[in-house]
Structures are given as structure tokens and as C-alpha cells.
């Protein structure tokens, strides 16, 4: 057995390794990059370190799929070039169709006064072979007015076509002031004209959320008259990460944001990347960081996964909405259903499993309701998903999720105000160490690491005053179906 095959076999035995979320065969993964539909196939790229489960020496990993759920890993697309503008790493970017030529636009990292630059690579017709452009870097430094005030932060190009020309957003930083997203324009992807500031932040802004010291991975999503600027707020990366949106009309090259908010709650969802596919849907991926120690990741041989593929739409209230991609239903197998009435009826399945999709529907809540997942029969380990109507909040409580000491144990909260008489729906995806929750409006995600092999149970929560009908649908999702080596 080769060393690579041995490594794959080793990490597969990790009970915390997800079965149907996308992740590389082993080692480190972070941001999704360059998602694109090309000649009937979906191509997904991602930040990858082939040397081990830590962030460093970043390459672009590459996989292909015909249906968004069954993936084949391909050879690495981009690797650092010694002595080149990306010698220290090929960091985040995007993929575009340049008149029939697949083109990657990415961040090159190197040593120098301005260590982060914009580079290009072009692919052959089946996107298996990539060549770096001889013009690299196509943008060698930030614009003059902030050139020596960025602290080296100038990255994550996002490119789209508008009125026959290429447009680009780049994330940067102005030291002692805050984040800034810069706007560029080009006719050929190689000669870029700086158009000005697209959006500027302020480290003093704390409402409706703290905008952090650096914005990353900007994406501009076109909903017609409305657009959403989506970017990731770099706060304390070891504690809390989040993705936000600024949404409003787009006129004369400017976004007139009327609404802003957090896209997904929980602190693990980051570096969202969006692309429009042939049927008109906007598909979004994000990185889900680990919630365990670096030593545990080293021992496991892998770190980081991607979220489920998500459909991004604009709600009637003008707020972006995320729902799991419809293709995920292909993973459903064994189905169990419960229908009852709270508080008279109860449900508890101690052997439900660790790779599940759960849909729980509650009558308009009159008291605390929810679902417990990944529960041990004696309750020594369990993860609670609870809605408290008096607070209009959804909770992901992981403080009892694991007996291990080196994993995150916390309570994450998402606002969720239901209208009068509105039913509560919780659509929950459980995948070994991942919990993704989609509700009427809010999304909440987390990481959990139960230690017991029998921590696979589920049950309903019905607090004092909770009454009314409830249904619970549970599907076993096929382990490893999404992961084809």
C-alpha cells in the first residue's frame, strides 16, 4: 500500500470524519474556491495543504461532479512556483469562463514589500491541466492611496462579467481604520483599472454586528434589481467566524445597501463562495472550521470540511435565504417517521445513527421545543437543538456534546422570530462531527465530537407549556457517497 493510500485508510477510520460532506482524502482544507459549472460538470476547488493537517504551503485542490453530491478527486490544480509570485501559496480566488477558456483568478503570496498579488491560470478544455499566465502577477500591489497602509492584506479576487467587461472585487485592509473592498475593471483579465472603493468598514462599528479588522472572500450575488455583497468577517479566528451580507439595489456600479446581517450563525461557517449554475440557481459553499485542538487534528490526519452545497435565494423580505441543495435528497435511504402530540407523546430512538437528515415540524410553539442528536443512552453525551419562543431564539447547545476535554463546548444562538400562528420547522443534517440546522429563516451550524460509539440517539424536547402536534422524519444518509476517491 502506498503512503498516500495508507493515509487515506487511516483518516477514514476516524469516527469524527464526516461521511457525506465534501472534504479531501486527508490533510488540511479551508476556503472553497473557483466553483464553476463547465460542460455539464461541476468543478470545485479548495485551499489545500498536501503536506499535512495544518495551514501552510497552500495549493488548490480540485474535484469534479455531475450532480453536486458524488465527487471524484482530481490532481492538484495549482501549486506554489518556487521563485514565482505565488511561491508562498496559491490562496483564494474564483473561476470564470473567458470566451471558452476556463480561467482561475487567485491570490499569489510571496516575499516582498507587497506579498499578496493577483494571478491567473488557464485550463484545457476538460479542466484537468492548468498553466499559469506569463503576465503574473496581473495586479502587483494595492492602489496608491492605501499601498503602504494595508499591512500586506490584499487578497481574494472575485470576478464577474458586466456590460461586456470584467469587474473585480478585492478584499484589503487599512491599518488602524478597518476593512475595505476595492473595485477594478478590465477588458481582458490582464490589464486592470482601479475604479475606487466598493465598501469600507470601520473597526468601531459594533451594530448590528462588529465588522472586524479584515474582510475576506467578497462575493457579489446578482438577484436582478437587488444584489447581495457577501463577505467573511475576520474576528478572533480561534473563537468566532462569520459571514455577512449587505443587500440592496445596484446602480451605476455601486451597491446601495438597505439591509445587512449575518448569513449563518454558530461561529464555524466562513469563506463563503457563490456561483450561478446553468439552471439559474446560486450555489454557495463555505468552509466549516474544526472545533477541536490542533493536536487532535494532527492525530486524526485531517482538518476542515466544506458545508453542504446550499441554494442562495432572496426572500420576500429582501433578506438572503439558504436552503440545502435539492440534489442532497439523493443521499436519503432508510426513512422513519413519528407523528404525535406534545406533551402526551414522546419519541426516543437510541440507535438513530451519526449520518442523518432530520425534519421536525412543531405546531406554533407555546413552550420550549427541539431535538436532541448524537445522544448516548444514558445522556452522558448529547447535542441539543432548542427553540425558546419567549426569547425568539434558536440554540445549539454543545456543552454536553463530548466527554473529551480538548473540543469546543459552548452554546450558540440564532435569532428566530416566528409570526403569530407560524409552525416551526427544523431541518437538521448530522454528519458525525457536523450539525447544520435550517429553519423558517435562520441557519445555525456547529462542530461536535462525541467520544462514545453509542452516542447516536435522537429524541424530542418538550419543555413546560409546550403543546400541539409534532412530526419527525428521519433519513439515514449514505456514508461516503459524496466522497469518491
pLDDT for residue 281 = 98
Residues with Cβ < 8 Å from 405, sequence gap 6 or more?
none
Q: 351 and 370 share a domain?
A: yes
User: Which of 118-122, 197-201, 353-357, 406-410 is the least confident region?
Assistant: 197-201
Which whole number is the average pLDDT over 270-275? 98
452-485, pLDDT tens digit by residue? 999 999 999 999 999 999 999 999 999 754 544 4
Q: 271 and 412 share a domain?
A: no
Closest CA to 222 of 306, 139, 309, 158: 158
Place of cell 474544526: 290
Q: 123 and 101 share a domain?
A: yes
pLDDT for residue 236 = 54
Sheet holding 355-362, edge to edge: 332-342, 468-477, 355-362, 424-431, 434-438, 443-447
Any catalytic annotation for residue 31? yes
Q: Considering the domain boundaries, does residue 15 fall inside one? A: no
Q: Is the pLDDT of residue 183 over 70?
A: yes
Quick count: other Cβ atoms within 10 Å of Cβ 224?
8
User: Which of 178-187, 206-215, 253-262, 335-344 is the least confident region?
Assistant: 206-215
pLDDT for residue 206 = 66
Q: Is the pLDDT of residue 237 over 50?
A: no
Q: Considering the domain boundaries, does residue 20 fall inside one? A: no
Which whole number is the average pLDDT over 304-330? 96
Which whole number is the average pLDDT over 137-157? 96
Strand locations in 343-439 (E): 348-349, 355-362, 369-375, 383-388, 393-397, 411-415, 424-431, 434-438
Q: Considering the domain boundaries, does residue 484 fall inside one? A: no
Q: Considering the domain boundaries, does residue 355 fall inside one? A: yes
The Cα 305–Cα 206 span in angstroms is: 30
Which whole number is the average pLDDT over 111-138? 97
Q: How many domains is the chain built from?
A: 2
pLDDT for residue 228 = 97
Residue where a domain terminates, one of 287, 303, 324:
324
Q: 190 and 108 share a domain?
A: yes
Residue where a domain terminates, one of 270, 301, 324:
324
Q: 174 and 243 share a domain?
A: yes
pLDDT for residue 485 = 45
The one catalytic residue among 9, 31, 279, 408: 31
Q: Considering the domain boundaries, does residue 22 fall inside one? A: no
Quick count: other Cβ atoms within 10 Å of Cβ 111?
7
Closest CA to 272 of 260, 288, 255, 256: 288
The Cα 242–Cα 210 span in angstroms is: 10
Q: Considering the domain boundaries, does residue 265 fall inside one? A: yes
How far the first Cα of the chain sits from its last, in Å, is: 15
383-436, pLDDT tens digit by residue? 999 999 999 999 999 999 999 999 999 999 999 999 999 999 999 999 999 999
Identify which has the larger pLDDT, 176 or 71: 71
Q: Considering the domain boundaries, does residue 73 fall inside one? A: yes
Q: 233 and 255 share a domain?
A: yes
Question: Mean of the per-residue pLDDT values for the chain?
Answer: 94
Q: Percent of the chain, pLDDT > 90? A: 88
334-385, pLDDT tens digit by residue? 999 999 999 989 899 999 999 999 999 999 999 999 999 999 999 999 999 9
Q: Distance between alpha carbon 455 and the CA centroid of its chain, in Å?
A: 26
The residue segments making up the domain with residue 64 are: 27-324
Q: Is the pLDDT of residue 238 over 50?
A: no
Q: Is the pLDDT of residue 239 over 50?
A: yes
pLDDT for residue 241 = 82
pLDDT for residue 1 = 38
Which whole number is the average pLDDT over 154-173? 97
Q: 373 and 288 share a domain?
A: no
Q: 239 and 170 share a domain?
A: yes
pLDDT for residue 254 = 83
Strand 302-303 and strand 27-38: pairing? parallel
Which whole number is the average pLDDT over 66-84? 96
Q: 249 and 359 share a domain?
A: no
| pLDDT band of 79, cuts 50, 70, 90 | very high
CATH number of domain containing 176:
2.115.10.20
User: Which of 103-107, 217-221, 316-320 is the least confident region?
Assistant: 316-320
Q: Considering the domain boundaries, does residue 240 fall inside one? A: yes
Q: 286 and 354 share a domain?
A: no
Q: 84 and 185 share a domain?
A: yes
Q: 308 and 339 share a domain?
A: no
CATH number of domain containing 364:
2.60.120.560
Amino acid at each position: 500500500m502506498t503512503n498516500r493510500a495508507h493515509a487515506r485508510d487511516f483518516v477514514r477510520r476516524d469516527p469524527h470524519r464526516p461521511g457525506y460532506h465534501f472534504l479531501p482524502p486527508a490533510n488540511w482544507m479551508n476556503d472553497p474556491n473557483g466553483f464553476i459549472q463547465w460542460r455539464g460538470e461541476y468543478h470545485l476547488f479548495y485551499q489545500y495543504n498536501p503536506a499535512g493537517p495544518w495551514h501552510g504551503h497552500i495549493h488548490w485542490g480540485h474535484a469534479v461532479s455531475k450532480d453536486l453530491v458524488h465527487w471524484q478527486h482530481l490532481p492538484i490544480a495549482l501549486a506554489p512556483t518556487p521563485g514565482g509570485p505565488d511561491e508562498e501559496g496559491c490562496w483564494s480566488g474564483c473561476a470564470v469562463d473567458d470566451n471558452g477558456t476556463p480561467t482561475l483568478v487567485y491570490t499569489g503570496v510571496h516575499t516582498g514589500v507587497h506579498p499578496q498579488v493577483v494571478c491567473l491560470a488557464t485550463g484545457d478544455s476538460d479542466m484537468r491541466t492548468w498553466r499559469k499566465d506569463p503576465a503574473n502577477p496581473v495586479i502587483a500591489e494595492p492602489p496608491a492611496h492605501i499601498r503602504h497602509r494595508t499591512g500586506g492584506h490584499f487578497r481574494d479576487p472575485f470576478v464577474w462579467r458586466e456590460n461586456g467587461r470584467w469587474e473585480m472585487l478585492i478584499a484589503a485592509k487599512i491599518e488602524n481604520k478597518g476593512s475595505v473592498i476595492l473595485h477594478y475593471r478590465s477588458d481582458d483579465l490582464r490589464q486592470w483599472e482601479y475604479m475606487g472603493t466598493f465598501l469600507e468598514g470601520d473597526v468601531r462599528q459594533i451594530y448590528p454586528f462588529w465588522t472586524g479588522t479584515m474582510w475576506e472572500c467578497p462575493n457579489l450575488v446578482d438577484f436582478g434589481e437587488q444584489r447581495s455583497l457577501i463577505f467573511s468577517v475576520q474576528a478572533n479566528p480561534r473563537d468566532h467566524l462569520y459571514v455577512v451580507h449587505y443587500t440592496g439595489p445596484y446602480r451605476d456600479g455601486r451597491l446601495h445597501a438597505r439591509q445587512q446581517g449575518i448569513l449563518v450563525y454558530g461561529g464555524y461557517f466562513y469563506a463563503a463562495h457563490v456561483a450561478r449554475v446553468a439552471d439559474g440557481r446560486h450555489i454557495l459553499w463555505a468552509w466549516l472550521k474544526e472545533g477541536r485542538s490542533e493536536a487532535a487534528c494532527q492525530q486524526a490526519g485531517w482538518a476542515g470540511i466544506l458545508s453542504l452545497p446550499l441554494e442562495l435565494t432572496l426572500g420576500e423580505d429582501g433578506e438572503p435565504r439558504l436552503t440545502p441543495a435539492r440534489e442532497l435528497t439523493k443521499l436519503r435511504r432508510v426513512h422513519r417517521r413519528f407523528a404525535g402530540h406534545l406533551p402526551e407523546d414522546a419519541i426516543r430512538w437510541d440507535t438513530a445513527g451519526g449520518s442523518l437528515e432530520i425534519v421536525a415540524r412543531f405546531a406554533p410553539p407555546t413552550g420550549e421545543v427541539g431535538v436532541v442528536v448524537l445522544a448516548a443512552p444514558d445522556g452522558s453525551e448529547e447535542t441539543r437543538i432548542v427553540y425558546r419562543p419567549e426569547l425568539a431564539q434558536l440554540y445549539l447547545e454543545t456543552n454536553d456534546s463530548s466527554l473529551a476535554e480538548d473540543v469546543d463546548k459552548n452554546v450558540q444562538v440564532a435569532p428566530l422570530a416566528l409570526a403569530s400562528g407560524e409552525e416551526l420547522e427544523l431541518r437538521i443534517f448530522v454528519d458525525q462531527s457536523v450539525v447544520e440546522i435550517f429553519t423558517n429563516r435562520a441557519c445555525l451550524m456547529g462542530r461536535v465530537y462525541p467520544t462514545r460509539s453509542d452516542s447516536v440517539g435522537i429524541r424530542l424536547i418538550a419543555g413546560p407549556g409546550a403543546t400541539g402536534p409534532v412530526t419527525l422524519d428521519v433519513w439515514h444518509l449514505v456514508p461516503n457517497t459524496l466522497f469518491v476517491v
